[in-house]
Amino acid sequence: MNQDDIVVSLFAGAGGFSTGFAQAGLKPLFGADINVDACKSYELNIGSACYPLDLSIADPSLLQNLVGGQKPLAVIGGPPCQGFSTAGPRNSSDPRNRLIFNYLHIVDRLSPRWFVFENVEGLLTSGGGRDLARLVREFVGLGYSVRMQKVNLASYGVPQTRKRVLIIGNRLGIDFEFPAELHSFDSGKAKKASGLPMAPTLDDAIAGLGPAATAKGAAVRYASSVPLNTFDALMRQENEAGSVTQHVRAEPAQRTQIELLKPGQTMKDLPPELWHESFARRANRRVCDGTPTEKRGGAPSGIKRLRGNLQSLTITGAASREFIHPTEHRPLTIRECARIQTFPDRYQWAGNSASIIQQIGNAVPPLAAQHLARHLLKLDGAFGSDLQAPRPAAAQLLGFVLTESSGMSPALQSTAMLLAEMRQQRLMFDACKTATA
């Protein structure tokens, strides 16, 4: 890396990805996102421009002009993923999914040394695996050596189990590995005992925050003058105010149900007569309407009380409505969700509460992004050095990890077969090239 190296953040949202890169010394030159509130949040916290662009139609040459003709060190970003999400019907032809390939076209025009692409695990089986295979093939066709892996970001120190697909590529022709895992994790739903220290728990994540306020706009002082644990100390860094905003309790409409929920329980653990209408309708529809399994999305669970001694479940735009505090009879506050997403306490957002929680739920956790950025710096620094310099090779799919499970669903097997065929064709091509040389 040199002082002229730049980073560009696409589909930047409120700046989670960019915050992590900035914390690693790679503050993006600019971000771009269609959401005006998210762009305002980005600029408020990152301190660089965020352009409110519709990247589905924006001319890549516009972005090329914004970087002044330079070839960036990295392009980072996670295109909107609703069409692939397992939380709802998955549709390979969803127009939002075209943004994934727009990301590819922008990478082609900007020609960064590296790209880091993040998306939901539903991408793995979209279109029978053909969407992912096509994306990887086109990245390789642009001259990038690529690794793809499903990662649970809890292994990078995030206090929630959050499964994401990461695709990292470089046009330097070097082989590389993903950053090492740092933690074991257990949210009750997803777990991995790897012999590493446990990731911060939900209790660790929200420790030190004072009692939630009842008035919107209130600033809440910390519960103590000194941090209560390492994670609390990390979140308080650079927060000179000594207080937080967006830590406001919402009075739940489902008070009776919430009071009956024990840690780890969801709506389905309650008597059916206490299910709220939308939950009952969704639960019944999954059984009775004949909707194909692959289009049903995730099982409805409605409200759920989290376990404080485990990692949280995945923070989404519904978390401040559906996730119930481990010991208090209320949903999580927006600030608690932000902490679970590893946004520092100094972070402020633009927009109303619905917009803010959506920005938080859509973000790449800054702590995970920081781990990726530091790893990228290490890899890029090794290239061309005298110490452990990687050996350049032709662009190719270097490897992929679709699951850590011993078994695969038929849909995932289809994806694995397509990617394996791609790698085999590359190996055969290289062998023929060597034989004729």
Confidence band, pLDDT 50/70/90 cuts, at residue 302:
confident
Token couple for 163:
């499964």
Mark whether 349 and 379 lie in a shared domain: no
| Residue 195 domain flag | no
- Is residue 48 a contact partner of residue 31, using CB atoms and an 8 Å limit? yes
Mark whether 180 and 217 lie in a shared domain: no
**pLDDT tens, residue by residue, 58-75:** 888 999 999 998 999 999
**pLDDT tens, residue by residue, 338-355:** 999 999 999 999 999 999
- Is residue 32 a contact partner of residue 51, using CB atoms and an 8 Å limit? yes
Per the structure, the complete domain to which residue 37 belongs is given by 7-190+366-436
User: Can you count the helices (H) and strands (E) in the chain?
Assistant: 15, 14
Least confident among 239-248, 317-326, 423-432: 423-432
Strands 185-186 vs 191-192: parallel, antiparallel or unpaired: antiparallel
Confidence band, pLDDT 50/70/90 cuts, at residue 2:
low
| Residue 62 domain flag | yes
| Residue 327 domain flag | yes
Mark whether 38 and 140 lie in a shared domain: yes
The one-letter code for the residue type at 210 is: G
Does the pLDDT at position 265 exceed 80? yes
- The set of residues, in sequence order, having a beta carbon less than 8 Å from that of 149 and lying 6+ positions away, is 165, 166, 178, 400, 401
Does the pLDDT at position 367 exceed 70? yes
| Residue 427 domain flag | yes
Mark whether 185 and 259 lie in a shared domain: no
Mark whether 336 and 380 lie in a shared domain: no
Token couple for 386:
């005298």
Mark whether 208 and 182 lie in a shared domain: no
Mark whether 76 and 180 lie in a shared domain: yes
Closest among 379, 382, 376 to 24, alpha carbons compared: 376
Mark whether 165 and 35 lie in a shared domain: yes
Mark whether 353 and 370 lie in a shared domain: no
| Residue 129 domain flag | yes
> Which of 50, 81, 288, 337 is an active site residue?
81
- The set of residues, in sequence order, having a beta carbon less than 8 Å from that of 239 and lying 6+ positions away, is 344, 345, 346
Q: What is the pLDDT of residue 384?
A: 56
Mark whether 256 and 399 lie in a shared domain: no
Confidence band, pLDDT 50/70/90 cuts, at residue 289:
very low
The pLDDT of 284-292, averaged and rounded, is 51
| Number of structural domains in the chain | 2
Last residue of a domain, one of 362, 382, 397: 362
| Residue 1 domain flag | no
| Residue 197 domain flag | no
Question: What is the b/e burial string over 98-109, where b = at least 16 CB atoms within 10 angstroms of the residue's CB?
Answer: ebbebbbebbee
Last residue of a domain, one of 327, 362, 397: 362
Burial of 268 (0-12, 13-18, 19+ CB in 10 A): middle
Task: Give the C-alpha separation, 67 to 24, whole Å.
Answer: 21
The length of the chain is 437
Last residue of a domain, one of 329, 362, 395: 362
| Residue 292 domain flag | yes
Token couple for 39:
């762009």
User: Strands (DSSP E) along 137-248, which ranges?
Assistant: 145-152, 163-170, 185-186, 191-192, 220-221, 243-244
Task: Examine the residue annotation and report whether 81 is marked as an active-site residue of this protein.
Answer: yes
**pLDDT tens, residue by residue, 119-131:** 999 999 988 999 8
- Is residue 47 a contact partner of residue 89, using CB atoms and an 8 Å limit? no
Confidence band, pLDDT 50/70/90 cuts, at residue 284:
low
Least confident among 229-243, 292-306, 309-323, 340-354: 292-306
